[in-house]
Amino acid sequence: MKNIGVIILAAGFASRMGKQKLLLPLGEKPILMHVISTAMSTGFADCITVIGEPKDKLAKLCTQLHSDWVYNSERHTGQASSIVLGLNKLQLDLDGILFLLGDQPLITQSLLQALFDSFASTGSNKSIIVPRHKGQLYSPVLFGSWWRHHLAALSGDCGGRSLIRENPHYVIPVEWPDGKPFYDADSWEDYQSLCKLWVDHAVD
Please report which helix (H) or strand (E) contains residue 90, including its range.
Answer: none
pLDDT digit string (tens) for 14-47?
666 667 899 999 999 999 999 999 999 888 889 9
Please choose, from the candidates 124, 151, 127, 129, the residue with its C-alpha nearest in 3D space to the C-alpha of residue 140: 129
Region for residue 152 given its phi and psi (left: phi exceeds 0; alpha: psi -120 to 50; beta: otherwise): alpha
Question: Cα dihedral angle (93, 99, 103, 109), rounded to 10 degrees?
Answer: -80
**Residue 121: pLDDT over 70:** yes
Closest CA to 98 of 81, 75, 114: 114
Q: Please compute the mean of the pLDDT values over residues 80-106 and round it to a whole number.
A: 95
CA distances from 64 to 10, 59, 67, 83 (A): 16, 9, 8, 23
First to last CA, the chain: 25
d(CA 119, CA 13): 32
Q: How high is the pLDDT of residue 72?
A: 96
pLDDT on residue 31: 96
Question: Percent of the chain having pLDDT more than 90?
Answer: 74
Does the pLDDT at position 200 exceed 90? no
- How does DSSP classify residue 185? -
pTM for this model (two decimals)? 0.93
Of 4-13, 56-65, 155-164, give the lowest mean pLDDT range.
155-164
Q: pLDDT for 148-196, tens place per residue?
A: 999 999 988 878 889 999 999 999 999 999 999 999 888 888 999 999 9
Q: Work out the average pLDDT over 116-140.
A: 95
3-state secondary structure 18-66: CCCHHHCEECCEEHHHHHHHHHHCCCCCEEEEEECCCHHHHHHHHHHCC
Bridge partners, residue 98, by sequence: 6, 142
Q: Does the domain formed by 4-203 have CATH 3.90.550.10?
A: yes
pLDDT score for 29: 94
Mean pLDDT of the chain: 91
